[in-house]
């Protein structure tokens, strides 16, 4: 919790507040001034994931070879440009271009923030650093929509774009306060020679698939909780999302040390079980109380899963490869949020909303199977200490 980490946390919070401001505004903007429907809205939101997924490994590679700081600052500056570009987005096509740029911006900023937070911590506190930096992300996404709606009023869309651009500029200024954290190359940890580029880190594939198994259910929850709740006669579902975000933020803020103390593999397994249990409750107990209980249980798992898996993924990976590792692993998050809702939508159309949650719970078992096969690759902290002592 020294100066550089606090500056990084501040930059992350402000960045994601700026991005979160657009979430409740875009549907109104597409339906109102642009006069388009649900298909166009789906394309606008989906465009973000295309570049975010495609570019994360590339920005991770750049961060390892050229430095994390330019990637962090560049992501924030690109957000300024993107938000101001919304002023010119007078058609769905132009708005999709802006969303593609937004995906590129977040790919750079998110990977750099994760990597730098881990760089700034020693080996016994990297899980804690990842948990704490993710609090900034969740808090920003939770706060931003309220600010966006307040600024928009009835139809002040231009004011939202300008305010978001201004906040992104503040995030860039805060990022300037973060020093370069890329480790200095040593004889036994030299960077790859010029000309050799690797955009997928092998050590990030299995952890990425484990995150995907849990993210799938999260994506389904975000998309189908509202229509599922309305089908059961719930007057509002916003409290569900507040409950979810509140539990995740509270746990990561109060117990950020859990991945380091219990080990990423062990905590990841517990987190997956909680996510699966919560989704199963939502699918089996078809009532508002079932939806609330399931949301709370799932949020317990979500609070621990990404920090635990990212902590686990770093075991045995050189510090100079951390950027591409996080770029590879985090790309699977975009896969979950991009592909999951589409396939689950087919399930909902064929079998109803409860089945989407049950299918998502079943997919979580794949993550447990993958974790079960990684005991040698990712031993528990106590086992690693015992091995070190015997050596």
pLDDT one-digit tens code per residue, 281-323: 999 998 999 999 999 999 999 999 989 998 888 888 888 888 8
Check whether residue 207 and residue 172 sit in a common domain.
no
Check whether residue 261 and residue 301 sit in a common domain.
yes
Check whether residue 245 and residue 351 sit in a common domain.
yes
pLDDT in tens, 205-216: 999 999 999 888
Q: What is the pLDDT of residue 219?
A: 79
Q: What is the pLDDT of residue 14?
A: 95
Residue 183 in domain: no
Check whether residue 271 and residue 383 sit in a common domain.
yes
Check whether residue 345 and residue 310 sit in a common domain.
yes
Residue 207 in domain: yes
Length of the chain measured in residues: 391
pLDDT in tens, 101-122: 999 999 999 999 999 999 998 8
89-97: long-range pairs with CB below 8 Å, 24+: 90/33, 90/34, 91/34, 92/30, 92/34, 92/36, 92/40, 92/43, 92/44, 95/26, 95/29, 95/30, 95/34, 95/44, 96/43, 96/44, 96/47
Q: What is the pLDDT of residue 270?
A: 94
Residues 6+ apart with CB under 8 A from 203: 313, 316, 317, 325, 328
Q: Please determine, for residue 384, whether its predicted confidence score (pLDDT) is greater than 70.
A: no
Q: Report the CATH number that the domain containing residue 52 is assigned in CATH.
A: 1.20.1250.20
* pTM of structure: 0.79
- Dihedral (Cα; 345, 349, 352, 353), 10-degree rounding: 20
Residue 103 in domain: yes
Q: What is the pLDDT of residue 38?
A: 66
Residue 317 in domain: yes
Check whether residue 317 and residue 224 sit in a common domain.
yes
Structure letter (DSSP) for residue 23: T
Lowest mean pLDDT among 23-37, 189-203, 264-278: 189-203
Q: What is the pLDDT of residue 299?
A: 92
Residue 193 in domain: no
Q: What is the pLDDT of residue 117?
A: 92
Check whether residue 126 and residue 82 sit in a common domain.
yes
Check whether residue 168 and residue 240 sit in a common domain.
no
CA distance linking residue 142 with residue 241, whole number of Å: 9
Check whether residue 41 and residue 136 sit in a common domain.
yes
Check whether residue 233 and residue 148 sit in a common domain.
no
Average pLDDT taken over every residue of the chain: 85
Check whether residue 55 and residue 112 sit in a common domain.
yes
Residue 190 in domain: no
Residue 273 in domain: yes
CA distance linking residue 142 with residue 60, whole number of Å: 26
What is the count of structural domains for the chain? 2
Q: How far apart are the first and last CA of the chain?
A: 33
- Provide the domain limits for residue 96: 3-176
């Amino acid at each position: 919790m020294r100066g550089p980490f606090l500056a990084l946390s501040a930059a992350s919070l402000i960045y994601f507040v700026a991005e979160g401001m657009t979430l409740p505004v875009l549907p109104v903007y597409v339906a109102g001034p642009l006069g388009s429907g649900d298909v166009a809205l789906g394309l606008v939101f989906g465009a973000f994931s295309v570049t975010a997924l495609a570019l994360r490994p590339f920005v991770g590679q750049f961060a390892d070879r050229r430095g994390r700081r330019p990637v962090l600052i560049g992501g924030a500056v690109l957000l300024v440009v993107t938000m101001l570009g919304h002023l010119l987005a007078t058609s769905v096509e132009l708005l999709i271009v802006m969303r593609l740029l937004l995906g590129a911006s977040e790919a750079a900023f998110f990977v750099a923030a994760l990597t730098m937070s881990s760089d700034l911590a020693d080996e016994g506190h990297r899980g804690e650093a990842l948990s704490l930096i993710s609090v900034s992300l969740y808090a920003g996404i939770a706060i931003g929509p309220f600010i966006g709606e307040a600024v928009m009023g009835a139809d002040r869309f231009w004011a939202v774009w300008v305010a978001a651009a201004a906040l992104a500029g503040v995030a860039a200024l805060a990022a300037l306060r973060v020093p370069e954290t890329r480790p200095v190359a040593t004889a036994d940890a030299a960077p790859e020679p010029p000309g050799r580029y690797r955009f997928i880190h092998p050590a990030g594939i299995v952890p990425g698939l484990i995150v995907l198994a849990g993210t799938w259910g999260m994506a389904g929850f975000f998309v189908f909780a509202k229509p599922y709740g309305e089908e059961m006669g719930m007057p509002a579902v916003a409290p569900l999302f507040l409950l979810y975000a509140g539990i995740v933020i509270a746990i990561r803020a109060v117990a950020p040390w859990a991945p380091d103390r219990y080990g990423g593999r062990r905590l990841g397994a517990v987190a997956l079980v909680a996510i699966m249990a919560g989704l199963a409750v939502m699918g089996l107990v078809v009532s508002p109380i079932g939806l609330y209980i399931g949301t709370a249980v799932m949020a317990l798992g979500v609070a621990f899963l990404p920090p635990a898996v990212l902590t686990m993924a770093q075991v045995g990976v050189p510090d100079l490869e951390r950027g591409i590792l996080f770029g590879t692993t985090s790309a699977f998050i975009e896969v979950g949020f991009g592909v999951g809702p589409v396939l689950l939508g087919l399930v909902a159309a064929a079998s109803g909303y409860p089945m989407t949650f049950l299918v998502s719970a079943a997919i979580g078992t794949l993550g447990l199977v993958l974790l079960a096969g990684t005991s040698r690759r990712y031993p528990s902290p106590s086992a690693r200490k015992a091995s070190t002592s015997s050596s």
